[in-house]
Structure 1
Amino acid sequence: MLESTVTSKGQTTLPKDVRKFLGVDTGDRVRYLIIGNEVRLLKPRKIMSLSGSLKHDGSPVTLEDMDAAVRSVAAERHSG
């Protein structure tokens, strides 16, 4: 387990092994995610790293088709 001290200004130094694991360096940003009684430290992703993560094997769908599908599901949920 790794530890660091919090200064009077609320600052801390990330241990070298943590910086290496996250791939962060001087000037990089980190993100804090609070889940229950835990805090997770993350390296924010660049938006382009998400490219291709939502693959669709069918034919292209128009924005109008997507809007219609969302309206349909919303109507079903509100009618039940």
Structure 2
Amino acid sequence: MITNTFIDNAKVMSKGQVTIPKDIREVLGVSCGDRITFVVENGNVRLINSAVYAMQILQMQMKGEAEKANLTSDAAVMDMVKEIRTESVD
């Protein structure tokens, strides 16, 4: 069985700062200046790329909205796009 789980560690400095190890930064897809989100659940902390986390939250909030708008096929979506484009030209 292949797993993408690994363990790394870092030292907490006097101001509470921690350097995220390079291999962890690569997995998260973050670099200098990027933001990360800390999610605390049951005494455990997850680090998540903030952009990825924001997209996950948006996807959860939007779940089921296409069905409510009767956008259940590619054709329905294309019809809506055409309608919006026509409205914006007028």
Name the TM-score class by shorter chain. Answer: 0.5 to 0.7
Give, in whole Å, the separation in 2 of the partners of 1:42 and 1:48: 11
Superposition deviation, residue 48 in structure 1: 6.9
Higher helix share: 2
Cα 1:17–1:48 change in 2 (3 A) is closer
The residue that corresponds to 1:15 in the other structure is 21
Give, in whole Å, the separation in 2 of the partners of 1:56 and 1:2: 41
Q: Secondary structure at the match of 1:56?
A: helix
Give, in whole Å, the separation in 1 of the partners of 2:46 and 2:10: 15
Cα 1:14–1:48 change in 2 (3 A) is closer
Give, in whole Å, the separation in 2 of the partners of 1:30 and 1:48: 13
Give, in whole Å, the separation in 2 of the partners of 1:26 and 1:16: 11
The residue that corresponds to 1:59 in the other structure is 70
Give, in whole Å, the separation in 2 of the partners of 1:48 and 1:8: 33
TM-score, with length taken from structure 1: 0.60
TM-score, with length taken from structure 2: 0.54
Cα 1:48–1:6 change in 2 (3 A) is closer
Give, in whole Å, the separation in 2 of the partners of 1:23 and 1:10: 23
Cα RMSD after superposing both structures: 2.6
Runs of 4+ in 1 over 3 A off after TM superposition: 46-51
Residues 1:5 and 2:16 are matched in the alignment:
no
